[in-house]
Amino acid sequence: MTETYLAQPDLGFIAQMRGLGGDTLKKCYQCATCSVACPIAPENSPFPRKEMIAASWGLKDRLLGSADIWLCHNCGDCTDMCPRGAAPGDVMAAVRAAAITEYAQPKALAKAVNDPKKLPWLLGIPAIWFAIFAYITMAHEDVMTKLFNVFGIAWSHAHEGAEHVIAQADFFSTWFVDLTFVPLAGAVVVIFFLSLSRFVGDIHENAVKEGKTDKKSIDVKAFLQALGRVIPLILKHNKFNECGTNQERATPHMMVLFSFIGLAIVTGIFFIVLYVFQTPGPYSQLNPVKWLANIAGVALVIGSGIMIKSRLDNKDQVTTYKDWYILGVVFSVGLTGMLTEMARLAHLEWITYGFYYLHLIAIFNLFAFLPFSKMAHLVYRTTAMAYAEYGNRK
């Protein structure tokens, strides 16, 4: 018996795709060249032809609930081979951006991250927040003394030269910053947990319905084991390197990825050293952990800088606001961090404060909006690849 599927096109979704960089989707005439050209498409129900059909017809629910949109690494092979200029890779990127907005909560914030008109708010809110705390910290020692006395903590700082810079920076980078970013990190984890709970359920339902898996339910232990097998592939960019058109993008992508891993390790170590061993910074440049921090910081600037230059040079690649936003944030995090350290080592007190202020704003944008920006693909793609491994997708 043949199954009947009633298509209900979502015209608003089609318009959304076009606004996110998939404006070429209507050029597709289903020749299947893209699926044949893709070196990483699964043998069983390959992409991106079926995704191009769903996007053209506005089948939002069917498309956003598929793990296949995340298995695509946007290498550009399909776009180069397309005889009609439909740019399937760019359409898939637009679909992923829509999926991030769909699964993240609250949706209003997700939409704001993709709206250039909201950028002043995204920058202004943390700018005001950090300015208020900086003013209280630096100008009202009596306020800080009373505040810390509530918790039985002594508050004092020096007032001369380099000692002033170090003492103020110690506070500014511990109590003040942790007061902001520790709860923020917790909120991001909760948002991702809620989003992924729904996401995994949807991609499993889609895979079962379309015969892309032999699993009838999700075994959490087996899924986590599959995740463990996938992570090394991601770290080595194995799938990315199978592509041909934009293979040079693999190197800067890996630089940025390993930079964040290195900086996360550094942050974790210094956090433990500060709060467990009660040893505040700043730390010697000869400290091995400091070496890792400096290497990761430089690699972050260079890697993201190469990615920006690549997009500027490649006129054929569609680059939308969502791409520039995250690239700008990542580059700003690396650059302001390095400039802050250089100014501190040069004992340029107020320049150090200025760069550090900009650094905090950039970090806030990176982490606070992580579940809503293009950077969220790190989480969704990893989950989708783990599911494909778990579901025996061939």
One-letter amino acid at 363 equals I
pLDDT at 294 over 90: yes
Residue 365 lies in a domain: yes
Residue 94 lies in a domain: yes
User: Could you tell me if 69 and 195 lie in one domain?
Assistant: no
Tell me what the mean pLDDT of segment 19-39 comes to: 86
Q: Left if phi > 0, otherwise alpha if psi is -120 to 50, otherwise beta: which for 30?
A: left
List the structure tokens of 125: 């809110």
Predicted confidence at residue 155, as pLDDT, reads 45
User: Could you tell me if 217 and 148 lie in one domain?
Assistant: yes
Closest by CA to 358, choosing from 80, 53, 131, is: 131
Predicted confidence at residue 168, as pLDDT, reads 41
CATH number at residue 73: 1.10.1060.10
User: Could you tell me if 92 and 174 lie in one domain?
Assistant: no
**Rounded to the nearest 5°, which phi and psi values hold at 98?**
-65, -35
Query: For the whole model, what pTM was predicted?
Result: 0.86
Residue-averaged pLDDT of the chain = 84
pLDDT at 156 over 50: no
What confidence category does residue 154 fall into, taking pLDDT thresholds of 50, 70 and 90? very low
Residue 4 lies in a domain: no
Domain that holds residue 31: 11-104
Q: Give the tens place of pLDDT for each residue, 183-202.
A: 999 999 999 999 999 999 99
151-166: b or e for each residue (b if 16 or more CB lie within 10 Å)? Answer: eeeebebeeeeeeebb
User: Could you tell me if 88 and 120 lie in one domain?
Assistant: no
User: Could you tell me if 163 and 201 lie in one domain?
Assistant: yes
Residue 275 lies in a domain: yes
Residue 79 lies in a domain: yes
The answer to whether the beta carbons of residues 91 and 55 sit under 8 Å apart is yes
Residue 119: partners with Cβ closer than 8 Å, 6 or more residues away? 325
User: Could you tell me if 209 and 153 lie in one domain?
Assistant: yes
**Calpha distance 54→66 (Å, rounded):** 11
User: Could you tell me if 333 and 230 lie in one domain?
Assistant: yes
Structural domain tally of the chain? 2
User: Could you tell me if 380 and 354 lie in one domain?
Assistant: yes
pLDDT at 123 over 50: yes
Residue 364: partners with Cβ closer than 8 Å, 6 or more residues away? 126, 129, 130, 180, 181, 184
The residue from 104, 130, 146 where one domain ends is 104
